[in-house]
Every structure is written in structure tokens, then in C-alpha cells.
Copies of this chain bind each other. A is one copy, B any other.
Amino acid sequence: MPLEFERPLVELEEKIRALEATAREQNLDLSDEIELLKGKLERLQREIFAGLTPWQRVQVARAPGRPTTLDVAERIFEDFYELRGDRAFADDPAIVGGLARFAGRRVVFVGHQKGRNTKENIARNFGMPHPEGYRKAMRLMDLADREGVPFLAFIDTPGAYPGVSAEERGQAWVIARSIQRMSRLRVPAVAVILGEGGSGGALAIGVGNRVLILENAWYSVISPESCAAILWRDAKEAERAAAALKLTARDLLELGVVDRIVPEPGGGAHKNPEGAIRELESALLAVLRELEGLSPEELWQDRYRKFRALGAFEES
């Protein structure tokens, strides 16, 4: 199902497909008309996506078909091997990770994992991790440090799971610990917000030397719906909350919360995941190259300076 603002695009796409079918069936040369329409589609796409409201971008960030961590892993790594479990309690399917080879170099990666369909989404708890997921992530941080290879984190979660099972196993404790563990990495660390960057559950694997964000992804202290429910006492004010929270890529770049925006192809990453992943691949490679000359101590310093500086206040 297309998103509300995608309808004009879908209509145009259908027209193009219909013309193409006519041309084929009746053996007519309609290429001029088709080219015209395709050009129009592209312009309209650009126009619509340039003008998306923050709330519309939140919809795009959640759209089915958007690249997940495993989609990215399958496309950008020469090979990868998934490592599972926290070696203590459970394997959390909402977080994946493992060893990989990226552009010839060894890396360790981790990421939230949403399902690619409803059934898988239920199995993966909609990308909302339990404490054991973060413990798996920390285990992988240990591995990256020991092996001295870069650590890549892909963020895509509505938030850490807010349920009894998670609370009683120390959800807050483990998020704090994961932030601390990641900040202590002695290797280059890059975090990428692929889709949703929901609060502490996202930040837990977000303490990178560089933080990238896909063009239509969001990253916020709270989801627009929850924010609306608290501040306006009405979840339907999510659109206003989305705007107020300054959660879009461009806002975050301005605030210094992210370092680089990864452009999405026309129509959004969900319409062309391969294109989005190619852009991500080259952005990742570029930032890794920036970081690879730094010593473990310098990498820590760099991360410290980055996060120490975040915040806005005045001094009297």
C-alpha cells in the first residue's frame, strides 16, 4: 500500500506501465510519450520528496521494503557470518550482528533487525530489542576490540522493547552499559540510522565516531506518537510532535547529532533499496577511511569530544 503522498506517483507509474503494455501489445512506438511521462514522474518524485513534512518522512522511514540491517549486510559485505546469542540468556532476533568483510577489510557489525514481512516482524519483535539483544551487541563490541577491526552499527528500531520481560531483566541498565561499552571501543566505530532511531534503544548502538543517517530516516528522544500523547495528551498530534522534535536528517545535521546524510534514490529507499544501499556503501567507505589512520586512544578522544560537545545551553 502506497503512502498517502505517494498516490500521484503511483498513478503516474500506472500510466507509464499501461502505455508500455499498449506499445508492446499493439506494437506501437510510444517511446516519446513514455519518456515524457518518466521525466514527469522523476520531477514529481523529486518535488514531493523535497517537500515532505517531518511526519511524512517518519512514514517513509517505516515503509515496508526499506533496507534492513541484513539487507545491507547481504549487499555491501563480500561475506559475513552471523554470530548469535548473548551467551547467557537468549538470542534476541531483534538485533543481529557478526563478522564481515567490507571492501576487503575485516569488520564487526551489529544492527537492529525488523522483519521483511509480518510473520518475520513478529518473530523479530518489530525490531524492539530485549536486554539480551544489547548484550549480544556488547559481545560483538568486545570482539571488534579484541580483533582490532572497525565496528559498524545499523540503527533501525522504534525503541527498546517497553515490556515487563525487558524491564525485569534490566533494560535501562543494559542500555547504559551498551552506551558505555561502545564509547570505550578502541577501533573505528560508525553508526548509521537506516530507518527509525527510537530513543535510548537506538543510542545504545549509536556512539560512533561518525553517525550517518539515511535521508528519510529519523532519530529522536521519543517517537512522535508518544511525545504527542504526553505533551498534547493526544497521540493524533503526532504530526505536530514530529515537526517540533526536529527529528529529520537535515535537522539533526544542523544540531550536530549526525555527521552526514546518505541520500536516498528518488521515491525513497523503500522504492529502490539497492540504490540506497549503494549510496550507503560509498558513504561508509569514505568515513572508515577518515578514521582508519587514528590510534585507539585518538579514536576514543574523537568520540569523547564529539559527544561531550552535544547540547545547547548558555552560561551566565
**Measuring CB to CB, which residues of chain A are less than 8 angstroms from any residue of chain B?**
87-89, 131, 135, 169-170, 173-174, 177
Counted per complex, copies of this chain come to 2
Q: Which residues of B contact A131 (CB under 8 A)?
A: 88
Q: How far is the CB of A133 from chain B (nearest CB, A)?
A: 13
CB distance from A300 to the nearest CB of B (A): 17
Top 4 closest pairs, chain A to chain B, by CB: A88-B170, A87-B173, A89-B169, A87-B170
Residues of B within 8 A of A169 (CB): 88-89
User: How far does the Cβ of A134 sit from chain B's closest Cβ, in whole Å?
Assistant: 10
Nearest-CB distance from A85 to chain B (Å)? Answer: 9
Q: How far is the CA of A87 from the CA of B172 in the complex (A)?
A: 10
Closest to A176 in B: B87
Interchain nearest-CB distance for A44 vs B (Å):
52
Provide a sorted-by-A list of 9 A–B residue pairs whose CB atoms are within 8 angstroms.
A87-B173, A87-B177, A88-B88, A88-B131, A88-B135, A88-B170, A89-B89, A89-B169, A89-B170
In whole angstroms, what is the CA distance A173 to B138 when docked? 17
Chain B min CB distance to A92 (Å): 14
Closest B residue to A168 using CB positions: B89
Other-chain contact of A173, B88, B135, B173 (Cβ < 8 Å) = B88
A26 to B118, CA, bound (A): 92
* Set of chain B residues within 8 Å of A88, measured between Cβ atoms: 88, 131, 135, 169-170, 173-174
For the complex, what is the distance from the CA of A135 to the CA of B169, rounded to whole Å? 14
A174 and B174 alpha carbons, distance in the complex (Å)? 18
Nearest residue (CB) in B for A135 is: B88
Question: Smallest CB-CB separation from A89: which chain B residue?
Answer: B169
Contacts of A89 in B (CB 8 A): 89, 169-170
List the B side residues contacting A177 at CB < 8 Å. 87
Q: Would you give the shortest CB distance from A140 to chain B, in whole angstroms?
A: 16
CB distance from A90 to the nearest CB of B (A): 9
A88→B173 CA distance, assembly (Å): 7
Q: How far is the CA of A191 from the CA of B135 in the complex (A)?
A: 30
Complex: how many Å from CA A135 to CA B87? 12
- Name 11 extra pairs, CB < 8 A, besides A87-B173, A89-B169: A87-B170, A87-B177, A88-B88, A88-B131, A88-B135, A88-B169, A88-B170, A88-B173, A88-B174, A89-B89, A89-B170
CB distance from A239 to the nearest CB of B (A): 39
Q: How far is the CA of A205 from the CA of B61 in the complex (A)?
A: 49
Q: A135 to B88, alpha carbons, bound, how many Å?
A: 10
Q: A173 — which chain B residues lie within 8 A by C-beta?
A: 87-88
